[in-house]
Amino acid sequence: MIHARLLLIAFAILAVGQLSAAWVRAEEAKETSQQAVPAEGEDATAAAPDSAAAGDNEVASAVRAYWGLLVQHPEGTNARRAYALLLGGDAAAAKVMFQDILTRDEEFAPAHFGSALAIFREGQGTDEPAAFVQQATYHAERASALHKGFAGPHKLLGRIRLTILENYDEAVAAYVAALVIDPAADPATIRQLSTAYLKTEAHLKIDQAVIDSLEEAATDTELYPVLAAACASQGQEQLAVRYYGRYFVRLPVEERRLYDDISLIATKKELKAFKETEDDPAARREFLVRFWAQRDPDLLTPVNERRLEHYRRVWYSRIHFGRKKTPWGRRGEVYVRYGEPDHRATSGAPAAPMSAAVEQIKERIAWELYDEDAVGQTFRGPVYPIYSLHDPGMDFPAELNPEELGLDPFPDAVPDDPTPVIDNPEELGIQTRVTLAEERGRVTEWDGMTFVKWESWVYTDVAGGIEIVFTSEGPGTTFDYAPVPQADFDELGGLRRMSQLVRFSSGMVMKRSVQEMPEFYLPGGREAFLDFYYDHAAFRGPDGTTRLELYFGLSPKNLSTTVEDDDTLLVVGCAVGLFNVETGEVLNRREELRYRVPSGMST
């Protein structure tokens, strides 16, 4: 985990740093395209550094930072020409030119950074950007060592570690190093640092002194949601509400509405009632008060923790899953409903260790899909089959359409077992387990070698335990539910096997889960709960009132004891909250119960 001092530096810089203006004015773009590459016979030092591309901040900042070297060094003219190639989008040609410069002067920092940037961009245009990481990292590190006053190499290292290597601790360290050099960070750097920082989950361990010092200092809009999440994790919910409020007032109206949208977490009945208030603002406000009050996990606090978590999930989904699709793709829909999965595995990173609960869910799904073939398998990746690197020369077949097979992939009512009813299928010569075409398979059998990017999310407490698999089936495509694969089947057995694949496809799993559990939120996890038992009884009171009695029990193992006058003393804080479902009114009462156990008696 990142050193606490490093986090303090990061937050101190972010708190007092102002977002800089655009690196270069937009109207300079045309002028730049004409001046960046000197014409034949033209003085290569004629162009000013501020004429760098308005649309390419990395090139613009590099030209300004290295301007003295680009003017005075013998290779300066060639380096400027190479940066112009980068500006024009020809990363491959720029890389060749920068590498040629380095054969003559291996200590020329502008050529190292240019090489790193060109290699990184060249990799971004391929299906395997990770193959370009080692070279890009080497040149970026050399550039930072040779010219310590330029933040660009550190920002590039941060992007590599964040987007490709998914090494979030080192990504944060790189961005912090960039901010130490250039505190006037651009919005993109702030967003990337915020993303990497949240991924480390270090905000869950921020020292209280750091939060206190930031309360009045924070001014950057992009920082507010990060601080709000950090405050909420430390029990500073009211401060979290304040930061979210500051963030919301700076958002465009359409963006702000995303945080008020309840369509992904409401039941069908609630959503119908909500839509009926569309033309009545007062009724809508009253509805939302009741809606959120019903989901408040702690009626005794002035802040609704569930609503804060909803804000965090929406913001997280916009940052992580909203780049290619507005407001977010399938992953965002699932995240807003159910939050962070209990286990997440991706095609771009080694799988994290699985808990016993996660393993049990994967094994159950595998047995349903693959029968005895699942025995002995370790499913580090998705259990559900996706394209696998079984035959590199194969052609991709068209996906099977379940509707063409007489199957409705999204029926109004999902039965417990949507497969055909056959008492003894073996007697009919029908295979009852799934047989996959060669180009589909469980990626774990081949150590994650696939043609597609994938993510596997497992939720242990949602609908009895589910796995959702997302895939990006080609370059430039967004992540969606893994499609139903093609299967090898004969005419008799095909429908049953296909129905199993449809039943366990992520789209169908989510449809069933949403019907059963539209949302999930368990504050603090199961470890936060006591062995607590209670019952209640209502009696008629005076003057039309109701007298409510509560009876409860606690396991002694959940209680801590103190010794007072040789006796054992148990102190239990008792709090009761009552919620009126019609008005949203909350009544609460607190008291402290003290139990004295005489000396010699067991507790």
Question: Which pLDDT does position 214 carry in this prediction?
Answer: 53
Could you read off the pLDDT of 511-541 as tens digits, one per residue? Answer: 999 999 999 998 876 666 677 788 989 999 8
331 with 354, same domain? no
Question: Which pLDDT does position 191 carry in this prediction?
Answer: 72
Q: Which long-range contacts (CB under 8 A, 24 or more apart) does 163-168 make?
A: 164/123, 164/129, 164/130, 164/133, 164/348, 165/130, 165/133, 165/349, 166/199, 166/346, 166/348, 166/349, 168/196, 168/197, 168/199, 168/200
pLDDT category, 145, cuts 50, 70, 90? very high
Question: Which pLDDT does position 205 carry in this prediction?
Answer: 56
The SS3 call for residue 139 is helix
| 522 located within any domain | no
- What are the angstrom distances between the C-alpha of 285 and each of 260, 292, 528? 11, 11, 32
Q: Tell me which residue range forms the domain holding 557.
A: 530-597
| 525 located within any domain | no
Question: Which pLDDT does position 415 carry in this prediction?
Answer: 38
Tokens of 150: 């330029």
Q: Is residue 182 over pLDDT 70?
A: yes
Asked whether the beta carbons of 468 and 334 are under 8 A apart, the reply is: yes
269 with 371, same domain? no
Question: Which pLDDT does position 201 carry in this prediction?
Answer: 66
131 with 271, same domain? no
Scanning 392-433, the segments in alpha helix (DSSP H) are none
Higher pLDDT, 215 or 224: 224
441 with 306, same domain? no
125 with 192, same domain? yes
pLDDT category, 275, cuts 50, 70, 90? very high
Higher pLDDT, 37 or 368: 368
Give the span between the Cα atoms of 598 and 83, in whole angstroms.
Answer: 83
30 with 85, same domain? yes
Give the span between the Cα atoms of 262 and 537, in whole angstroms.
Answer: 34
Give the span between the Cα atoms of 203 and 91, in whole angstroms.
Answer: 37
Higher pLDDT, 559 or 309: 309
Residue with tokens 């505190």: 183
Specify burial of residue 112 (Cβ count, 10 A radius: 0-12, 13-18, 19+): buried
The pLDDT mean for the chain works out to 76
Could you read off the pLDDT of 77-88 as tens digits, one per residue? Answer: 999 999 999 999
Could you read off the pLDDT of 442-463 as tens digits, one per residue? Answer: 444 444 455 688 999 999 999 9
Highest mean pLDDT among 147-151, 439-443, 565-569: 147-151
Question: Which pLDDT does position 567 carry in this prediction?
Answer: 80
8 with 57, same domain? yes
Tokens of 256: 């702000």
Give the span between the Cα atoms of 265 and 338, in whole angstroms.
Answer: 9
Could you read off the pLDDT of 219-243 as tens digits, one per residue? Answer: 567 778 888 887 887 788 888 899 8
**Strand partners of residue 590:** 575
Q: Is residue 351 over pLDDT 90?
A: no
Q: Is residue 564 over pLDDT 60?
A: yes
pLDDT category, 468, cuts 50, 70, 90? very high
Higher pLDDT, 505 or 498: 505
Highest mean pLDDT among 32-41, 152-161, 192-201: 152-161
Which of the residue ranges 231-240, 443-452, 491-500, 558-567 would you say has the lowest mean pLDDT?
Answer: 443-452
Q: Is residue 135 over pLDDT 70?
A: yes
Question: Which pLDDT does position 490 carry in this prediction?
Answer: 54
Q: What is the arithmetic mean of pLDDT over 272-300?
A: 90
Angle 502-508-514 (CA atoms, 0-180°, nearest 5)? 170
Backbone angles phi, psi at 39, to 5 degrees: -70, 165
Higher pLDDT, 391 or 547: 547
Q: Is residue 549 over pLDDT 80?
A: yes
Asked whether the beta carbons of 186 and 19 are under 8 A apart, the reply is: yes
| 312 located within any domain | yes
391 with 467, same domain? yes
Residue with tokens 């895939």: 471
349 with 333, same domain? no
Question: Which pLDDT does position 219 carry in this prediction?
Answer: 57
Q: Is residue 13 over pLDDT 50?
A: no
DSSP 8-class letter at 346: E
Q: What is the arithmetic mean of pLDDT over 204-209?
A: 55
257 with 203, same domain? no
Could you read off the pLDDT of 385-440 as tens digits, one per residue? Answer: 886 544 433 333 334 444 444 444 444 433 344 333 333 434 433 344 444 444 44
Q: Is residue 501 over pLDDT 80?
A: yes
Q: Is residue 259 over pLDDT 70?
A: yes
**Strand partners of residue 579:** 586
Backbone angles phi, psi at 474, to 5 degrees: -170, 170
| 239 located within any domain | no
Q: Is residue 471 over pLDDT 90?
A: yes
Question: Which pLDDT does position 528 carry in this prediction?
Answer: 64
Other beta carbons less than 10 A from residue 131's beta carbon: 11
Q: Is residue 282 over pLDDT 80?
A: yes
Domain boundary among 289, 313, 338: 338
Question: Which pLDDT does position 204 carry in this prediction?
Answer: 57
- Counted domains in the chain: 4
pLDDT category, 283, cuts 50, 70, 90? very high
| 377 located within any domain | yes
407 with 464, same domain? yes
Tokens of 171: 């990504």
Give the span between the Cα atoms of 91 and 85, in whole angstroms.
Answer: 7
Tokens of 434: 């799934």
Highest mean pLDDT among 171-180, 288-297, 581-590: 288-297
Question: Which pLDDT does position 408 carry in this prediction?
Answer: 45
| 228 located within any domain | no
DSSP 494-563: HHHHHHHHHHTSHHHHHHHHHHH-S----TT-GGG---EEEEEEEEE-GGG-EEEEEEEEE-GGG--EEE
Question: Which pLDDT does position 488 carry in this prediction?
Answer: 57
Residues 6+ positions from 188 with CB-CB distance below 8 Å: 57
Q: Is residue 134 over pLDDT 60?
A: yes
Question: Which pLDDT does position 166 carry in this prediction?
Answer: 81
Report the 3 state secondary structure along 259-324: HHCCCCCCCHHHHHHHHCCCCCHHHHHHHHHHHHHHCCCCCCCCCCHHHHHHHHHHHHHHHHHCCC
| 334 located within any domain | yes
Question: Which pLDDT does position 215 carry in this prediction?
Answer: 52
Domain boundary among 338, 363, 390: 338
Give the span between the Cα atoms of 150 and 60, in whole angstroms.
Answer: 12
| 19 located within any domain | yes
Domain boundary among 516, 543, 577: 516
Length of the chain: 603
362 with 285, same domain? no
DSSP 17-63: PPPPPPSS-GGGHHHHHHHSSPPTTS-TT-S-GGGS-TT-HHHHHHH
